[in-house]
Amino acid sequence: MNNKEIIKILKLTASLLELYGENQFKVRSYQTAVYNLERTAIELSGLDKKALSELPGVGKSITATIEEINQTGTSNTLNNLLKQTPEGILELLKVKGLGARKIKTAWDHLGVECAADLHAAATSGQLADLPGFGAKTQEKVLQILEFNMANRDLIHYKEAHLAGMRLEQLIKGQFPDSILSRTGAFRRKEEVVAGLEYLWATTQFSHCQQFLDQTNSIAKDLSISGPFRWRGEFHESSIKLDIRFCRPDEFGSKQVYFTGSELHLQMQNEQGEILKDKLHNPYKQEQEVYRAFGYPVFIPELREGILERELLKSGRDMDNILRLQDIKGLLHNHSTYSDGKNSLLEMAESCKDLGYQYFGITDHSQTAVYANGLDEEKVKTQHDEIDRINRELAPFKVFKGIESDILNDGSLDYPSEVLGYFDFVVASVHFNINMDEKQATTRLIKAIENPYTTILGHPTGRQLLKRAGYPIDHLKVIDACSRNGVVIEINAHPWRLDLDWRWVHRAVDRGVMISINPDAHEIAGLQDVLYGVSVARKAALPADMTLNAMGLGEIQDYFKQRKGKVAESAAR
């Protein structure tokens, strides 16, 4: 079994032990093990008893459990807990923000055994009377449940993208000359999607369908499929799959129709024609459709019906929209100095191997004890190592950064003399996130006004499909960044993608630069920059307004000039 599967079993065991009121020391031993194992790059399945017991946070009991999981694929402790737990309770345990104790309280007092039961209890006001709840907690539970229900059937774009690449490889292997295109929200690279959508141009409909029917990784749903449409799902993940078939001579028309949002398809040209109406005529390529309509070909990411008209009016050069190859370096990354899985050297070398010119390390700051944040002594130790690495990897450059927690009052996490050590500072909120709009906006703006803040990190703290971000006044925050020369991050982690792309063009209009940051906690996470670029393209972000599209010399000068201004300000 791989680490992810082992950790999933340990995590579920911890939740169930807490649910049933097990000794807190035992629960904490599982939670500590999970925390540490999530941050190791060592393959657990290959370790013997002695090696397992030497891992941080893994005691004698957890060692025995991991050995059992490696041998049997499960554990007796978990199996015994699962036997007495309703399926609906297991589903509730997956909902971020509820907590095992509160679920157990509702189960014991009200007979709540699923999300629908809990929602009914919250709606009726019964939860407020339970021990440890109250009206505010009841309202919070209701918000969490409604958010979860609204997003229940969606998946992160990354998950869809990876599944899509595997399927496309299978199809291309069998039909190398096939004309196949992603469509819908999947092709528009929305942050979350309902599944994979495709258009397949062929004259051999039955042959292609037969191939799909016989593909082991997917299962057809006969009740919603037809002669020109194959619908089903992936066996392992239950990700939905929808493939439409068409003739090659109508591929362009169908591609435009099934890719664009309804708002995009309702666009009118100068003659008053509606794009959707143009699609009654067959076109082999979508370029022909837009040419006949008198419009340029919009990249798929833009076809939301939100920015297209504005771009046309402005005469913007759409060839200048950011591409992955424009990114010259990766800022905002973590290492084993805080909560990363790989060492600083491993992260830097991997970034260099990917062809980038520089790497920004931004481990967590001292207040982030949950993430092993760096005190001043660890900062100095890390900076000494960075100096050594820079000598070894030159001309590749590692920049000395920090992800400084934004404290409750909006101040940053170190005194000015320590903040002055860094080449750049990413300022982010990680705790006390239950704020109203005024509190959150005020907190962010004070951090933005700190002269040491270089980049505002994941501005709303959202985690897609898990929790909504704290509400902020986006325009006030953007204006504060504009006044103070602070860059705004699009956090490229596929669960964040924050700043939301719908606000990016507003930032650019006000002269605020954007940085596409992977927030990588392991080597594999460096690749997540792709998803940040994808949503940046949805906002038509220009390459010349992207901080890390700067080359090494340019960004080095940028950081020096910004630090110089801070020094001048302090000297006055």
Mean pLDDT of the chain: 95
Confidence at 541, pLDDT banded by 50, 70, 90: very high
572, pLDDT greater than 80:
no
For residue 569, pLDDT over 80 is answered with: no
Given a cut of 80, is residue 568 above it in pLDDT?
A: no
CB atoms within 10 A of CB 565: 12
Q: pLDDT at position 345, please?
A: 98
| Residues 363, 3, 7, 72, Cα dihedral to 10° | -170
pLDDT digits (tens, 9 = 90+) for 1-28: 899 999 999 999 999 999 998 888 999 9
Peptide bond into 395 cis (omega under 30): yes
Cβ 218 vs Cβ 235: under 8 Å: yes
pLDDT of residue 377: 97
User: Which pLDDT belongs to residue 155?
Assistant: 97
Whether residue 48 has pLDDT greater than 80: yes
Token pair in block for residue 450? 């700190």
pLDDT value, residue 571: 62
Q: pLDDT at residue 449 above 70?
A: yes
Q: What is the pTM of this model?
A: 0.90
Residue 543 CB neighbours (<10 A): 16
Condensed to tens digits (0 to 9), the pLDDT of residues 303-316 reads 999 999 999 988 87
User: How far apart are the C-alpha atoms of 210 and 124, rounded to whole Å?
Assistant: 51
Q: Is the pLDDT of residue 570 over 70?
A: no
What is the average pLDDT across 359-368? 97
In 329-473, which residue ranges form alpha helices assigned H by DSSP? 344-353, 376-393, 416-419, 437-449
- Residue 281, Cβ neighbours under 10 Å: how many? 12
Residue 503 has pLDDT above 90, yes or no: yes
Torsion of CA 110, 114, 118, 121, to 10 degrees: -50
Does the pLDDT value for residue 513 go beyond 80? yes
SS3 428: strand
pLDDT digits (tens, 9 = 90+) for 322-337: 999 999 999 999 999 9
Instruction: Taking residues 287-305, report their average pLDDT.
Output: 96
How many C-beta neighbours within 10 Å does residue 94 have?
12
Average pLDDT in the 206-222 region?
Answer: 96
DSSP state string for 97-147: TT-HHHHHHHHHHH---SHHHHHHHHHHT-GGGSTT--HHHHHHHHHHHHH
Percent of the chain with pLDDT strictly greater than 70 = 99
Q: 95-139: per-residue pLDDT in tens?
A: 888 889 999 999 999 999 999 999 999 999 999 999 989 999 999
238-266 residue pLDDT tens: 999 999 999 999 999 999 999 999 999 99
> What are the structural domains, with CATH classification, of the chain?
1-85 (1.10.150.110), 151-246 (3.30.460.10), 249-316 (no CATH), 327-571 (3.20.20.140)
Is the pLDDT reported for residue 319 higher than 90?
no
Instruction: Output the six-digit token pair for 132.
Output: 């440890």
